[in-house]
Amino acid sequence: MRKKLELSFIVVLMFLVVVGCSSNNNNVTPVQSDNAGTVATSKPEESPAEPVKVELNVFMSYPQYKEQFEAYFDQFIAKELAEKNIAVTINTEMPNSDQAKQILQTRLASNDAPDLFTIHANDIPTYYNAGYLSDLADQPSINSLYEPIKKTVTFDGKVVVLPLESSTWGYLYNKKMFKELGLTPPNTLDEMKVVIEKLNTANIPPFQLAFQESWVPQLMTAQSLGGVVSSKHPDWITKMNAGEASYKDVEAIFDIIDLINANGTSKPFEVGNEAGAADFANGKSAMWVQGPWNADAILKVNADFEIGVAALPVSNDPKDTMINLSTSTSLALSSASKNKEVALDLLNYILDEKDSSVLFEQLKFNPISTVHQFKVNPWVEESSAYVAKGQAYQDLTLPNGVTDEQAKLLQSYYAKSVTKEEFISTMDKTWATAVKAAAK
Amino acid sequence: MTSKTKWKPTLILLAFVFPALLFYSIFVLAPSFGGVWYSLTDWNGLNPDYDMVGLGNYVEALTEDRFFLDSIWFTLKYVVFMVVLSNFFAILLAVFIESQKRSKVWFRTIFFMPNMLSLIIGGFMWMFIFTKVLPFIAEHTIFKFLDQSWIGDPKLSFYALLILSLWSGVGYLMVIYIAALQGVPQQLKEAAAIDGANSWQTFRNITMPMIYPALTIGLFVTLNSSFKVFEAVFALTGGGPGRATQVIALNIYEEAFSQSSRYGYASAKAMILFLIVFMITIVQLWIMKKREVEA
C-alpha cells in the first residue's frame, strides 16, 4: 500500500515537471505581446474603418538608445495609423551588442527572423549569401543617402541594408596640446617624425597605446592598410582573394605601425579602451589611433578636452594621407518578413524628411542622408573636410576572420613574439583559409 | 528473490533521477551529440546549408593549426604547474590549519573564500592588483621589482595566471585535505611520538600515507579542471598578448565565436579536448578502483 502511494506520488511529481516545462514554453509569447500592448495604446477611437492590425518584430543592438528608438517608433505608429489606417504593434528586442550577433544568428537559423534587424555592414556578405537580406535599392530612404555612404552598403550591385551609424575617422589628437606646442597634424611620414620628435622633447609620449583589448591595436592596420591599399594598390584585395598577392606587397603598413609602437605610452597591455580614453583625456599622450566613437568616453573624463580628428599618414606622399569612411551598424529587412510593406515603411521612416534629423541628433550619429540638417560636433566637421577634399577612402572589406587575426598578431608583434615575416605569412594563410571557407 | 522485487527499486531510483536526467539530456547530452555531428561538417553557425567534411577538421586541427597546437602545449605547461603547485599549497595550508587550535575555523573560511567567488570577478580583481596595486607598491616602497608588465609580458603573464588560478583553486583542495587529515588516527601519531619520531618524520611516514586516497582525488581534480581552464585566462589576459597565453578552451571559443565563425571546426577541436579529458578520467577511475580493492 505504502509503496503504491510512493509510486503514485512520484508519477504526480514527474507529471508536474513535464507540465511545468511545457507551460513555461507557452508563456513566452504572451509576455512579449504584453510589452507590445503598452507601446500601442494611443489608438484614436474615431477612425472610420477598423484599422488593420500588424505586428512587427524589430531587433537592434542598441540597448543604450532604447528610449530614443521606442519614442521614435511611437511616432511611426501614430503616423501609420493616421495615413494608412494600420495599427502597428512593434516588439523591440535590444540585446547588448556583445551578444546581439549570437542571438540574431540563432533567431535566423531557427526560422524565427525578426522583420527588421541590425547587422554590422562588414557582415553583409555573410548574411546576403545565406539569403537573409532583401534588396532595398529603390526605397526612398536609400535614394536620399549620400553617395559615398551608399557605396559602403552596396553588395553584389544591390543595396541590402540601411546604414544607421557611419563614421569618418583617422586618429584622435589633443588639439589644445598641439596648439600649445605649435604643431599641426602631419601630412607625411617625415612630418610625423618631426611632430613625434617635438612631443618627445616636450616629454609627452606621442601615441596613446591601449592594447589590452585586441580591437584597439587592430585600428592601426585598419588605417595603415586602408591608406596603403587605397592609394598604391587599389586592386590588392581582388588579387588577395584570387591568391595572387601577399601582405609582402603592402609591407609599407609597418612604417607607421613601427613608428607608433616605438613612440607610445608604456605597458600598453594593461590599458583597456576606457583606461586609454581616460589617460588620453588627461593629456598623458598627444595622439591616439582611435575613432570618434570614443568621444563620449573622453569627454566624460575631461569635459574641456578639444578632440581633433586627422588622417594617418602612411607614406611621404601627402595625397596618400586619407581618412577612413565606414559604416558599422545598419538596419536590414528580413527576406522572410510577413509584413514587408509595413516593415519597409518603418525602415523608410528612419530617414524621414521631417523627423529623422531630430533622431540622429539625439543619438549623436553622423549625418548620412540629404534629409539630415543638424549641426555636428567640431571633430566631425574636421574629418568631413577630408571627405569634401576627396581625401577619403572606403573602409576595406576584408574576409571574415582576417581582421581578428590582424588584431591578435599586432598584439604579438608588439610583444615581440611574432616577427614581421611571421606576421606576413600568417596573414596570407588566414586570408587564403577565409576565402576558401567563404567559397563553400 | 523474484524478478518483481528486483526491478522495483530500480524503477523508483530511475523515477527519482528522472527530472534531473531530463534536463541533463536536453541541455547537456543532446548538444554534445550535436557537437559530434557538427565536428564532421563545415557549418559556419549561420548558413542553413553545410557539407560533410569527414575527419578533415580533425586532421587540420592536429596537423596544420599552429595556434591550436601551441595552445595545447601551453595548456600542458599550465597543467603541470597547476597540478604540482596547487596540491602542494593545499596540503601545506591543510596541515597548517589543522595545527591551529582556536583560529582553525577562521583560517579555513578565509582560505576557502576565493573559491566561492566567480573566477571572472576574481580575474578582474587580480587584474587591478597586477596593473595598479603592484606598480603603486613598487613606486612607494623598496620592492622595485614589482613594477613589471605582469599582464603584458608573455613570460610574466603565465605566472600572473598561475597566481590567480592558485588563489581561487587551492581553497577547495585544502578542504579535501583537511577532511583527510582529520581521518588520520590519533593513536598512530602518538605511537610515533613515543618512538621518538620528529614532526617531519611523523608527517612523512604516517600522515602522508594515510592521506594518499585524498591525494589521488586532488591530483585528478586539478588535472581535469586545469585542462578545461577558461575563465581565469579569459578574465585576466584574454589569451594575450597576442596568443601568448591562449589555452585550448579559449582557442576553441575564439574559433567559434570571434574569428571566422567556423563552428564545425571549433566543434572538432572541442571533441579533441573532450577526448583528452576523457582519457584522464578513465585512468583516474581505473586507479581509484584499484585503490578501493586494496583498501
How high does pLDDT run on average in chain A? 83
Q: Please answer yes or no on whether A269 and B241 come within 8 Å at the CB atom.
A: yes
Q: Please answer yes or no on whether B18 and A17 come within 8 Å at the CB atom.
A: yes
Tell me: do A346 and A425 sit in the same domain.
no
Distance in Å, alpha carbon of B43 to nearest chain A alpha carbon: 10
User: For an interface test with B, which of A265, A267, A416 has the most B Cβ atoms less than 10 Å from its Cβ?
Assistant: A267
Asked if residue A14 belongs to a domain, the reply is no
Tell me: do A408 and A432 sit in the same domain.
yes
Tell me: do A101 and A177 sit in the same domain.
no
- Which residues from chain B sit within 8 angstroms of residue A268, using beta carbons? 152
Interface size, chain A vs chain B, as Cβ–Cβ contacts under 8 Å: 97
| Facing B262 at nearest CB: one of A109, A268, A437 | A437
Q: Which of A351, A366, A398 is the last residue of a domain?
A: A351
Domain housing A106 = 36-165+328-351
Q: Please answer yes or no on whether A269 and B151 come within 8 Å at the CB atom.
A: yes
pLDDT of residue A401: 78
Distance in Å, alpha carbon of B17 to nearest chain A alpha carbon: 10
Which residue of A lies nearest to B16 if distances are taken between CA atoms?
A10
pLDDT of residue B260: 67
Asked if residue A180 belongs to a domain, the reply is yes
Where residue A12 falls among pLDDT bands split at 50, 70, 90? low
Tell me: do A40 and A91 sit in the same domain.
yes
> What is the rounded CA–CA span in Å between residue A291 and residue A377?
14
Where residue A440 falls among pLDDT bands split at 50, 70, 90? low
Asked if residue A7 belongs to a domain, the reply is no
Tell me: do A205 and A347 sit in the same domain.
no
Tell me: do A150 and A210 sit in the same domain.
no
pLDDT reading at B24 higher than 90: yes
pLDDT reading at A62 higher than 80: yes
Tell me: do A196 and A213 sit in the same domain.
yes
Q: Please answer yes or no on whether B149 and A434 come within 8 Å at the CB atom.
A: no
- Which residues from chain A sit within 8 angstroms of residue B244, using beta carbons? 412, 415, 417
Percent of chain B with pLDDT over 70: 95
- Which residues from chain B sit within 8 angstroms of residue A126, using beta carbons? 44, 46, 261
Which residue of B lies nearest to A399 if distances are taken between CA atoms?
B260
* Helix ranges (DSSP H) in A161-310: 175-180, 189-201, 215-232, 236-241, 253-262, 273-281, 295-301
pLDDT of residue A23: 45
Kind plus residue range of the DSSP H or E element containing A88: strand A86-93
Q: Please answer yes or no on whether A414 and B45 come within 8 Å at the CB atom.
A: no
pLDDT reading at B235 higher than 80: yes
Tell me: do A305 and A419 sit in the same domain.
yes
Report whether A109 contacts A326 (CB < 8 A). Answer: no
Q: Please answer yes or no on whether A400 and B257 come within 8 Å at the CB atom.
A: no
Numbered residues of chain B with Cβ closer than 8 Å to any chain A Cβ: 8, 12, 15-16, 18-19, 22, 42, 44-48, 51, 130-131, 149-154, 238, 240-244, 254, 257-262
Tell me: do A319 and A341 sit in the same domain.
no
pLDDT reading at A126 higher than 70: yes
Tell me: do A188 and A283 sit in the same domain.
yes
- Strand order across the beta sheet in which A166-169 lies: A166-169, A323-327, A392-394
Q: Please answer yes or no on whether A270 and B44 come within 8 Å at the CB atom.
A: no
C-alpha cell at B263: 563552428
Which residue of B lies nearest to A400 if distances are taken between CA atoms?
B260
* Helix ranges (DSSP H) in chain B: 3-24, 30-38, 56-63, 66-98, 104-116, 119-128, 134-140, 154-182, 186-194, 199-202, 208-210, 212-227, 231-236, 248-257, 263-294
Q: Looking at A328-421, which runs of residues are DSSP E strands?
A: 329-333, 392-394
Where residue B8 falls among pLDDT bands split at 50, 70, 90? confident
pLDDT of residue A28: 38
Asked if residue A24 belongs to a domain, the reply is no
C-alpha cell at A153: 552598403
ipTM comes to 0.70
Distance in Å, alpha carbon of A414 to nearest chain B alpha carbon: 8
Report whether A404 contacts B238 (CB < 8 A). Answer: no
Main-chain phi, psi angles of A275, to 5 degrees: -65, -35
pLDDT reading at A35 higher than 50: no
Give the A window 97-136 contacts with B, CB below 8 Å: 102, 105, 108-109, 126-127, 129-130
> What is the rounded CA–CA span in Å between residue A85 and residue A340?
16
Report whether A415 contacts B244 (CB < 8 A). Answer: yes
CATH architecture of B66-294: Orthogonal Bundle (1.10)
Asked if residue A9 belongs to a domain, the reply is no
Q: Please answer yes or no on whether A3 and B8 come within 8 Å at the CB atom.
A: yes
Q: Please answer yes or no on whether B242 and A405 come within 8 Å at the CB atom.
A: no
Q: Residue A229 sits in a domain of what CATH number? A: 3.40.190.10
> What is the rounded CA–CA span in Å between residue A121 and residue B143?
50
Residue of A91 and B154 predicted with greater confidence: A91
Where residue A13 falls among pLDDT bands split at 50, 70, 90? low
Asked if residue A181 belongs to a domain, the reply is yes
pLDDT of residue A325: 85
Q: Please answer yes or no on whether A10 and B45 come within 8 Å at the CB atom.
A: no
Residue range A311-369, pLDDT digits in tens: 899 888 888 888 888 888 899 999 888 888 899 999 999 988 888 888 888 888 888 88
Tell me: do A294 and A432 sit in the same domain.
yes
Average pLDDT over residues A248-269: 89
Query: Which range, A7-21, B126-140, B265-279, has the best average confidence (pLDDT)?
Result: B265-279
Question: Omega into B241 within 30° of 0, i.e. cis?
Answer: yes
Average pLDDT over residues B247-253: 89
- Which residues from chain B sit within 8 angstroms of residue A129, using beta carbons? 47
Distance in Å, alpha carbon of B106 to nearest chain A alpha carbon: 35
pLDDT reading at B97 higher than 70: yes
Report whether B170 contacts B92 (CB < 8 A). Answer: no
User: For an interface test with B, which of A16, A19, A411 has the most B Cβ atoms less than 10 Å from its Cβ?
Assistant: A411
Tell me: do A193 and A161 sit in the same domain.
no
- Which residues from chain A sit within 8 angstroms of residue B8, using beta carbons? 3
How high does pLDDT run on average in chain B? 86
pLDDT of residue A168: 86
Residue range A232-249, pLDDT digits in tens: 888 888 888 888 889 998
Name the domain count of chain A: 2
Average pLDDT over residues A179-206: 90
Distance in Å, alpha carbon of A412 to nearest chain B alpha carbon: 4
Where residue B26 falls among pLDDT bands split at 50, 70, 90? very high
Q: Where in chain B are the domains? A: 66-294
Asked if residue A377 belongs to a domain, the reply is no
Residue range A102-116, pLDDT digits in tens: 888 888 888 888 999
- Which residues from chain B sit within 8 angstroms of residue A6, using beta carbons? 12
Asked if residue A362 belongs to a domain, the reply is no
Where residue A388 falls among pLDDT bands split at 50, 70, 90? confident
> What is the rounded CA–CA span in Å between residue A278 and residue A190?
29
| Facing A109 at nearest CB: one of B18, B46, B258 | B46
Residue among A376, A184, A350 nearest A295 (CA): A376
Q: pTM score, two decimals?
A: 0.71
- Which residues from chain B sit within 8 angstroms of residue A210, using beta carbons? none
pLDDT of residue A19: 52
